[in-house]
Amino acid sequence: MADDVSLVAAQDDAIRILRQLIRIDTTNTGDADTTVGEALAAEYVEALLTEVGYSPERFETTSGTRQGVYLRIPGRDPERGALLLHGHLDVVPAIAADWSVPPFEAVEADGMVWGRGAIDMKDMDAMLVALVRHWARIDWVPPREIVLLLTPDEEAGMVHGAKWIVANRPDMLAGVTEAVGEVGGFSITTPDERRLYLIQTGEKGLAWLRIKAEGDVGHGSMLNDNNAVTALAAAMARVGEHRFPVHMTPTMTACADELAAALGIDFDPRDPEPFLAAVGPMARILGATLSHTANPTMLDAGYKVNVIPETAEGGIDGRFLPGYEDEFLHQLDDLLGPGVTREFINHDPAVETTFDGPTISAMAAALSEADPGARAIPYLMSGGTDAKAWSTLGIRCYGFVPLRLPPHLDFPAMFHGIDERVPVDAVRFGVGVLQRFLAAS
């Protein structure tokens, strides 16, 4: 079996592939005309897979620059449902002047690979590609059919990526019953130096909204009691200052109970602040999964300082908990108030599955084997992934990018952050855990 064979070569391969993927600037600007690097990354991955004897499909979605890679690997048991291993090739923009290293040079220093995409999510892309190349070299067959799918456009709403695949190429997902992608499998170290690994079993829903207020046009020097800018600003301030009530979903109930027990503290959903203070940097992620969130992010009004405009618009990034979408939208409408309207820019469902079954057991066992004493626990992700698209086809989705992290690393800050980086040892660890998991899944 593959896990009886040294994975050192595959681990080396993963680091090399990761660095090369970072060097391919796949910045997703949100504008199809200026997002071009995905095709270069897809060509690179296609060549890596072809080199070891596979016949992958490099496919286009909405244009020649929006490309991904698709590969099916037969399993020993054709009667079992296929497992989708997925990642995205695009990254969010990086302003080089803000970084201490060039964001697209894949500098290796201080035991880390630095660069945009190191965590989100070219580390997982590299691990998956390195592993399947390893399988080809040693002629290893996984227990079940594997579908490898690397997509464009995850970072800007999936319209040119996963959503396009679901609508236009569902054959890529034929027979798939479960999917594994980002963001989960990373470790939290407790004060007694035990490691908990958070496996993502759910995601908040997404409501990117355009907010609009209308008023009376007028001269900036005159009184105006129906000012669109004033109405919009007041509405946006109400939303931004509001704190939604805590709702404990099944996933976060289990997560909070496990974390509180490991940290030796109590968790009171009526007052979660002491708990969040105890979990350190992870509070930014976990705190956002205890309630809805709605953050004003954009404002646009007027064309001249002495003209009161007829309309004012803004943007809100709303995220709602599984099972509570209607409540969220009703509460948001109350905050916006009369005369202020909203429309969806992007709207994706919340997803949540249970923390049980053979696949979860295989993940937990693989982590425990690689890191004795490790404990796997579920968590709900505050952001979103391609899993939102796959779940519309009834596919059960998990986030599992296994990384054993140093306790001092502010992991949440790596996502879309300045000086994004991943420990080399964590990537090597992840290759080994993924192989153990896939051999048993």
Quick one: CA dihedral 89, 90, 95, 99, positive or negative? negative
What confidence tier does 3 reach under pLDDT thresholds 50, 70, 90?
very low
Considering only CA atoms, which of 422, 434, 387 is closest in space to residue 111? Answer: 422
> What is the DSSP code (8-state) at residue 26?
-
Which helix (H) or strand (E) segment holds residue 84: the answer is: strand 82-88
How is residue 401 annotated by DSSP? -
> Which amino acid, 134?
H
Instruction: Find where tokens 């892309």 sit.
Output: 125
Q: Are 440 and 366 in contact (CB under 8 A)?
A: yes
- Is residue 320 within 8 A of residue 328, CB to CB? The reply is yes
Contact 16, 36 (CB under 8 A): no
All structural domains of the chain, each given as residue ranges with its CATH number in brackets, are: 2-201+350-440 (3.40.630.10), 205-252+287-348 (3.30.70.360)
Residues recorded for the chain: 441
Measuring CA to CA, which residue among 98, 74, 99, 71 is closest to residue 85?
A: 71
Does the pLDDT of residue 2 top 80, yes or no?
no
Average pLDDT of the segment spanning 233-245: 96
3-class SS of residue 188: strand
Torsion of CA 139, 145, 150, 153, to 10 degrees: 180
| Residue burial 184-194, b: 16+ Cβ < 10 Å; e: rest | bbbbbbbeeee
Q: What's the CA gap between 42 and 294, in Å, rounded?
A: 35
Can you give the pLDDT at residue 190?
84
- Please state, in angstroms and rounded to a whole number, the distance separating the CA atoms of residues 299 and 148: 40
Which pLDDT belongs to residue 191?
82
The per-residue pLDDT for range 205-215, each reduced to its tens digit, is 999 999 999 99
pLDDT range class, residue 174, cuts 50, 70, 90: very high
pLDDT in tens, 324-358: 999 999 999 999 999 999 999 999 999 999 999 99
pLDDT band (50, 70, 90) for residue 35? confident
DSSP 193-254: S-EEEEEEEEE-EEEEEEEEEE---EETTS--SS-HHHHHHHHHHHHHH--PPP---HHHHH
- Look up residue 275 and give its two tokens: 């708990």
What SS3 class is residue 211? strand
Higher pLDDT, 26 or 191: 26
Q: Are 61 and 77 in contact (CB under 8 A)?
A: no
Report whether 161 contacts 88 (CB < 8 A): yes
> Which residue from 70, 79, 74, 82 is spatially nearest to 172, judged by alpha carbons?
70
> Which tokens in the block code for residue 341?
């309207």
Tokens of 37: 């690097």
Tokens of 211: 């907010």
Of the pLDDT bands very low, low, confident and very high (cuts 50, 70, 90), residue 194 is confident
Q: DSSP letter string over 317-351? A: EEEE-TT-HHHHHHHHHHHH-TTEEEEEEEEE--E
Is 420 a residue whose pLDDT tops 90? yes
- Give the gyration radius of the chain's Cα atoms: 23
What's the rounded Cα separation, in Å, for the pair 274 and 5?
46
β-strand partners of 181: 399
